[in-house]
Amino acid sequence: MKATFTTICYTFFLLLVTTVMTLAQTGGSISGVVKTSDGSPASFVNVGLKEARKGTVTAEDGSFTLKNIAPGSYTLRITFVGLQPQDQSVTVSAGRTTTANFSLVESASQLDEVEVTGSNKVVSVGKAGLAPLDLPQMTGIVSNVVIENQQISRLGDAIRNVSGVALTQQRGGVAETFTARGYSIGIAGGAGSIFKNGVISNTNGFPEASTLESVEVLKGASSLLYGNVSGGMIINLVTKKPRFDFGGEVQMRVGSFGLYKPIVDIYGPIAKNLAFRVVGTYERSNSYRDVVKTDRVYVNPSLQYNLGSKTTILLQGDYLKSNLTPDFGVGSLNLNQDAVIPDVPRSRFINVAWAYNNLDQKSGSVTVNHSFNDNWKLTAIGAAQQTNVTAFGTGVPNNNIAANGDWNRTLSRTLTTENNATGQVNLTGRFNTGKIAHQVLVGADLVAVTNISNSFTITNNGTTVTTYDKFNILNPSLYPEQTYIPNADVVARTTAPSLRNGVYIQDLIALSDKFKVLAGVRWSSQKTLQTTILNQMTGVETRGPAVDKTDAAFSPKFALIYQPTRTTSTYVSYANNFNINTGVDIYGATLSPSIVDQYELGIKNDLFGGRVSANASVYRIQNSNLALTALTKADGSPNTDTNVKEFTGQTTSDGFEVDINASLSKNFYFITGYAYNYIRYTKTAQTTGAFIEGERLTNSPAHTANATIFYTFDLPKLRGLKLGASAFYTGARNGGNNNTYGQTPAFSRLIPLTGFTTIDLTAGYGYRAVSLLVKLSNITNELNYLIHDRYSIMPIPPRQLTATLGYKF
């Protein structure tokens, strides 16, 4: 079966290559460029013919092409969110290309201001440049306008604006974990699902969100494009790019708990074909949590060089220095083996007062875009990132706090480095075979990751520290608190390299104006190399117990798309993801990846010239090969080794998502969404070690909802006044850990959490180049928790005030 599938995949690839070489065109075509009033390219603008179902969106350079148009006279219309449509009469002749250029009244900066919801934009993380109505997958974009209006600094606050996406965990107060469609994604760069400008990124220490151009979310299975990623979603952080018109903005943000944050953004031309941009911020603040402090510096410089009219070279770098106080929240009481959240103030801090977590992160990338002609484009990306973390504080309070609040605190020292290197090449093109139009993507990528970790001995005056002190989380003054900082000496360094690569091909085939097919396949290989361990005391290097392990998988995607009108698209799709498994089977062989199947049915609407989008989807994601501890060994005897597994489990995730985004004018927009998800264990052996059938997986809210509305007055007496409101709902969910049959001891490992809603109100005023925004967040002072496992139990922020004063030039 595997050989047959491989043959089909290669045959599909060869057929596409053959059709590219034998493509033919009929009719005429229309090409042109859309620019802003200051000469900048207007990207992602809708272009269509009023008399025919032909349409596209402009590329990043503002260019567009409509092909295979019957000869005749037409009205060419361009539309963009928040702008009035523009029309131009054109005449098409057989075998000829008609040129039609547009110049918008708005400048590039004004275009950015009206581009609010992002509902009609192409997500760059999709690689193929498919128009939103042609992409059989739910997406979400949080634009810079939304980020600024909501005064967002953290990624977790940004992604709440995307339906079905929730911030569910904060690990030790230094990292965020997000959930979509029942699946979580976190900080790991090498095997993670968070990207920056399309390449894998480690997000430890909280990525800086206030300076981003946008945040893109591609929901559902994305293995075709990126290999071993979450089945729930991938997130792409898009940094600001250089511009050839001089300008910028300086801001000062202040807020509750001593927040002090200047933000600078400067851009402009250096030469005719060379432009720059420098974005940076400094942040210093205390917290609603006692003792907790933040001290951060972020800088993002970039250069763009236009090598002629067809090639651009973009150099980007960023540097983040983030010094945070590690924080496990309020902890949990071990009450008859159940983890119970204590009734303590939201501010209660349980780590040692001198604890620290310092991150130093550097990254750089070069992106080369070359257009061979109006139809074919090559993109090559090379990137590298290094993340260094040094931390010291208490060990995790993992259900080892007594019912009376007593906790014998141990210590933990961390020193880690993660080095990522990425290479990526994508070729996109449009062509016709007779009357059938194709939009093809062919690409390959490579990611090399090396993780370096150190182990320590912790001593004080030559004596090993096993217990630092006794602390009571209910009454911190009950025992004298130790203040000394012991010595931590490195005893061993472990190096763990891995390599993942893949090749992929995808084709959007337009069989007619209304029927389209998207088909593609990826082959992925992920190799985990044996670790090396260096004894720092003796200098002797040894190999880890595990051997090199290589996993490979095919990831197909297939979708049928029906577009009854130019503004409506329906689709049904199949795609899969794969999960890498650890452990061995009963015969000692390493486990193959688990294939996760996804089925989705959706409808997308792009209404009123792109001013309103209304999208909905239903889906089922099923992992029929969940690896669980094997019941017996190969000889039939009972198995007690949790590393010996078999594919006997299953999880199923069913859900529904809907979002409506609108930018009804330059002054008024709203974003709203709702999602339901039910992920649970659906097949288990009901024996010791198996998960409980029907139990919902942890950190997966049943319901999530979001709504944001902003309006800027134009009336003479109120001109410049801005009012806004946002509400975010996270439904009931389980924290902690899932239960298993026959678990010992026999207590529930779940921590049930109720749903909660936070409401933010914003008021602002702008006069010429000066603006002021003031936000009161969580106005009802709602209290709830974000839980990681059974130890990091973080109260959500209370009512806070934030204000930003800005000046644009």
Residue-wise pLDDT for 690-712, tens only, equals 888 999 999 999 999 999 999 99
Residues 6+ apart with CB under 8 A from 91: 72, 73, 74, 98
State the average pLDDT over residues 591-610.
89
User: What pLDDT score does 115 carry?
Assistant: 56
- Give residue 432's Cα distance to chain centre: 34
Per residue in 14-58, pLDDT (tens digit) is 444 444 444 334 578 888 888 887 677 787 677 888 777 677 777
Residue of 483, 479, 481, 484 whose CA lies nearest to 459: 484
Residue at 776 is within a domain? yes
pLDDT at 60: 64
Count the neighbouring beta carbons within 10 Å of the beta carbon of residue 477: 7
Cβ atoms within 10 Å, residue 50: 12
Residue finishing a domain among 106, 138, 165: 106
The DSSP-derived string for 660-726 is: EEEEEETTEEEEEEEEEEEEEEEE---STTSBPTTPBPTT--SEEEEEEEEEE--STTTTTEEEEEE
Model pLDDT, residue 251: 97
**CB neighbours (10 Å) of residue 256?**
18
**Phi/psi of residue 804, nearest 5 degrees:** -130, 125
Please tell me the predicted confidence (pLDDT) of residue 303.
Answer: 97
User: Which range, of 354-363, 597-606, 741-750, 753-762, averages the lowest pLDDT?
Assistant: 741-750
Q: Name 752's bridge partners.
A: 734
Of the ranges 10-19, 67-76, 357-366, 387-396, which one carries the lowest mean pLDDT score? 10-19
Q: Where do the DSSP E strands lie in 181-293? A: 183-185, 194-196, 199-200, 212-219, 233-239, 247-255, 259-271, 274-285
Q: How many domains, in total, are found in the chain?
A: 2
Average pLDDT, the chain: 88
Quote the tokens at residue 646: 């078999």
Domain range spanning residue 27?
1-106
Three-state DSSP class for residue 329: strand
pLDDT of residue 211: 94
Secondary structure of residue 579 in the 3-state scheme: strand
Instruction: At 471, list the tokens.
Output: 């602390």
Q: Classify 457 as helix, strand or coil.
A: strand
Query: How many residues can be counted in the chain?
Result: 809
Question: HSE on the CB side for 483, CA within 13 Å?
Answer: 1
Q: Is residue 467 part of a domain?
A: yes
**pTM (2 d.p.):** 0.88
For position 685, which CATH number holds?
2.40.170.20
The reply to whether 115 falls in a domain is: no
Give per-residue pLDDT as tens, 212-249: 999 999 999 999 999 888 889 999 999 999 999 999 99
DSSP state string for 590-647: BPPPEEEEEEEEEEEEEETTTTEEEEEEEEEEEEEEEEEE-SB-TTSSBP--TTBEEE
Question: Residues 184, 699: contact at Cβ < 8 Å?
Answer: yes
Nearest to 232 by CA among 278, 166, 172, 155: 166
pLDDT value for 119: 52
Q: How far is CA 541 from CA 353, 457, 527, 537, 544, in A?
A: 37, 18, 22, 11, 10
Of 106, 131, 155, the position where a domain reaches its end is 106
- Give backbone dihedrals phi and psi of 10, rounded to 5 degrees, phi first: -70, -35
Give the pLDDT confidence score for residue 172 in this predicted structure: 84
Is there a domain that residue 342 lies in? yes
- The number of C-alpha atoms within 13 Å of 683 and in the hemisphere containing its C-beta is 12
SS3 (DSSP) at 301: strand
Of 87, 106, 125, which closes a domain? 106
Structure-block tokens of residue 690: 């198996």
> Which two structure tokens, joined as six digits, stand for 406?
């007593």
With a cut of 70, say whether residue 113 has pLDDT above it: no
CATH, residue 39: 2.60.40.1120
